[in-house]
Amino acid sequence: MPVSCLEPKTPSRALRAACLLFGLCVAPLSSHAEDRIEGLFFPSVTAIHRSGLPQNDELKANQIIPSLDMLVIGSHGPVSWLAEIFVSEREHELARLSGGWRSGDTLLSVGKFHNLQGYWNTQFHHGAYLQTTIDKPGMVEDSAPLPLHYVGAQIEGKLSQWGEGLLNYSIGVGKGSVMQDKLESPDIVGPGKFGDLSLGLRLSYTLDEISPTQVGTFFAHNKIPVKNNDWIGITQDIGGLFGNWESDPFRVIGELYAFSHKLEGSGATDSGSFLYGYVQGEYRFAPHSTAFARIEETSGAHLDPLLAFLPDFALDKHLIGLRYDVTRNQSVKIEASRVKRMDAGFRQLQIQWSAVFP
Amino acid sequence: MTRKRFIAALYCLLVATCSFGANTTWADGMRKLVLVAATGSDITRLAPADIRKLFLGVPVNIGAETLRPLRNASDPTLDETFLQKVVFMSRDAYERALLTRAMHGGGVRPVIYDSEAKLVSALLTDKFAVTYMWADKATARTNLKIVAELWQEN
């Protein structure tokens, strides 16, 4: 759930057309699952109470945010495709749209993708029901200091196999985000706002092809144009590590990001670097109940020139909560957190209902 | 005479009841879960690891053709047994794993059939589809063949 609170926007004609197209695709085809096409709907409603916000902060003290993530996936022989649309009161976007060709263990795709960095963004995307917590880590929120999407090509597959263990790779190249009030993702539908080069590499090791436990590393190089500012461009290099370990009833997720960036303006340059990481622990103490906690920390961010663009980025966040799976496809979560941004800190209490249909 | 007939009828009823009970016990004791395909299918044998992968959404090929798993929800006990004994997952964990894979673009989830008649009909129209059922039901259908023995009750 995005923390940032933008002015409500009217869906563009192009996005409405995309939604209509999505509906037309899903309605007749999902009832014939033999056609290898499936639609998934992830609705959620989140009630938020915040205390300690500065006066006139753009975040509200009390807020209810309904949202809907719609995913349609399909395949015909070696060809597969995917479309994901995320709609909430405050934002709407064609989050992903891609078509791919599989040859053996290799999948080559073109379209709009989530970035390849880390674990969270490549696992849960916008499906609130799939993630145990309510809040995403700050690094995959809209106010994050790295481009969350790119438009281009992606290739993924198996690099090597040791016994049952697999080393997988993903490589992506394309056009990334533009820096305005925050990093604006590129759009396929609607007025184009493509950034410059975005390169990503992700390597992960899994115990076997179906094991959820994995560890990995990632690298990214982004060139980000800056609009309406004295700076005209940002060159960003990111490296990091991630891991997900699951052994019922326990689960631990961790990610570490190392940022290095250079800003260029008319005759001036500046540079900065910082570290960001989080660890999340989960314990399923009853068949349908899970307790969780997460610590997010940023180091070396003081006076960082990139973060100066992003005052809403959560530098540190500590949260605890409970999740109860009410039915096979619905859950209720409650979460308390303490958030520290560049400019302020506040406390937050959230309750969320989330589901997946069908 | 009437009394003799009554006693004979009672005896027959007793024997029938006992043998029905014995049959039930025998059938329960020998319950076997099998993987089946259409008789005309090119599928011969499948390894247990491949079956687990297949039902978790990982593509498993025979030649150039990808196998299509069909979920048999016509009998809740059967479906639960399959998940516990073959996939080694609780229903919740299994559904979550399929959703995560689908969300990652890993393909559609296996189609679920509540009706055995519709399931068999789908199986017969697709030479690369497989499903699971109790062995006695599979052997009773001449248009199906067993391609793997998955689990047997002790």
B20 lies in a domain?
no
What's the confidence (pLDDT) of residue A187? 81
Closest in A40, A74, A328 to B92, CB measured:
A328
Q: B99: helix, coil or strand? A: helix
End-to-end CA distance of chain B: 48
Q: What's the whole-number mean pLDDT along residues A185-189?
A: 80
Please, are residues A134 and A352 in contact by the beta-carbon 8 Å criterion?
yes
| pLDDT tens track for A26-63 | 444 433 334 578 899 999 999 999 999 888 888 889 99
Q: What's the whole-number mean pLDDT along residues A200-220?
A: 93
With CB atoms and an 8 Å threshold, state whether B103 touches A74.
no
Q: What is the 3-state secondary structure (H, E, C) of A179-213?
A: ECCCEECCCCCCCCCCCCEEEEEEEEEECCCCCCC
Between A174 and A142, whose confidence is greater? A174
Closest in B59, B100, B108 to A123, CB measured:
B100
- How confident is residue B119, by pLDDT bands cut at 50, 70 and 90? very high
> How far B111 CA lies from chain A's nearest CA (Å)?
6
| Percent of chain A whose pLDDT exceeds 90 | 60
B115 lies in a domain?
yes
With CB atoms and an 8 Å threshold, state whether A38 touches B102.
yes
| pLDDT of A22 above 90 | no
Give the HSE-up count for residue A304: Cα atoms under 13 Å, Cβ half-sphere: 26
What's the confidence (pLDDT) of residue A4? 38
What's the confidence (pLDDT) of residue A10? 46
What's the confidence (pLDDT) of residue A8? 40
Rounded CA gap, A239 and A216, in Å? 11
Partners of residue B91 in chain A, C-beta under 8 Å? 328
Partners of residue A125 in chain B, C-beta under 8 Å? 103
| pLDDT of B1 above 70 | no
- Residues in chain B whose Cβ is within 8 Å of chain A: 52-53, 56, 58-59, 66, 90-93, 95-97, 99-100, 102-105, 107-109, 111, 122, 126
- How confident is residue A342, by pLDDT bands cut at 50, 70 and 90? confident
Q: What's the whole-number mean pLDDT along residues A198-220?
A: 93
| Percent of chain A whose pLDDT exceeds 70 | 89
- How confident is residue B11, by pLDDT bands cut at 50, 70 and 90? low
Rounded CA gap, A347 and A315, in Å? 14
Q: What's the whole-number mean pLDDT along residues A316-329?
A: 95
Least confident of A309-313, A331-335, B121-125: A309-313
What's the confidence (pLDDT) of residue A102? 86
With CB atoms and an 8 Å threshold, state whether A122 touches B96.
no
| pLDDT tens track for A97-137 | 999 998 888 999 999 999 998 899 888 878 899 999 999 99
B114 lies in a domain?
yes
Q: What are the backbone angles phi and psi of residue B128, rounded to the nearest 5°?
A: -115, 20
> How far B66 CA lies from chain A's nearest CA (Å)?
8
| pLDDT tens track for A262-283 | 999 888 899 999 999 999 999 9
Q: What's the whole-number mean pLDDT along residues B115-132?
A: 93
| pLDDT tens track for B61-92 | 888 788 999 999 999 899 999 999 999 988 88
Partners of residue A95 in chain B, C-beta under 8 Å? none
DSSP letters, A2-62, are: ----PPP-PPPHHHHHHHHHHHHHHHHHTT-GGGSEEEEEEEEEEEEEEESPPTT-SS-SE
Partners of residue B79 in chain A, C-beta under 8 Å? none
Q: What's the whole-number mean pLDDT along residues B33-44?
A: 92
- Which domain covers residue B53, as residue numbers? 25-152
CA distances from A158 to A101, A104, A211, A223, A232 (A): 15, 10, 15, 28, 39
- Give yes or no for A31 touching B (CB within 8 A): no
| pLDDT of B29 above 60 | no
Please, are residues B28 and B22 in contact by the beta-carbon 8 Å criterion?
no
| pLDDT of A168 above 70 | yes
Query: Which residues are CB-contacts of A266 (< 8 A; sequence separation ≥ 6)?
Result: A230, A232
Partners of residue B109 in chain A, C-beta under 8 Å? 38
Q: A79: helix, coil or strand? A: strand
Q: What's the whole-number mean pLDDT along residues A152-163?
A: 92
What's the confidence (pLDDT) of residue B4? 67
B9 lies in a domain?
no
Q: What's the whole-number mean pLDDT along residues A281-286?
A: 95
Closest in B91, B100, B126 to A130, CB measured:
B100
Rounded CA gap, A89 and A18, in Å? 18
B59 lies in a domain?
yes
| pLDDT of A284 above 70 | yes
Question: Domains (ranges, CATH) in chain A?
Answer: 4-355 (2.40.160.10)
B118 lies in a domain?
yes
B48 lies in a domain?
yes
Q: A142: helix, coil or strand? A: coil
Q: Provide the CATH number for the domain around residue B109.
A: 3.40.190.10
Q: What are the backbone angles phi and psi of residue A186, rounded to the nearest 5°?
A: -70, 150
How many domains are contained in chain B? 1
- Give yes or no for A249 touching B (CB within 8 A): no
Rounded CA gap, A198 and A277, in Å? 22
Between A59 and A202, whose confidence is greater? A202
With CB atoms and an 8 Å threshold, state whether A210 touches B53.
yes
With CB atoms and an 8 Å threshold, state whether A80 touches B103.
no
pTM score: 0.82
Rounded CA gap, A183 and A197, in Å? 14
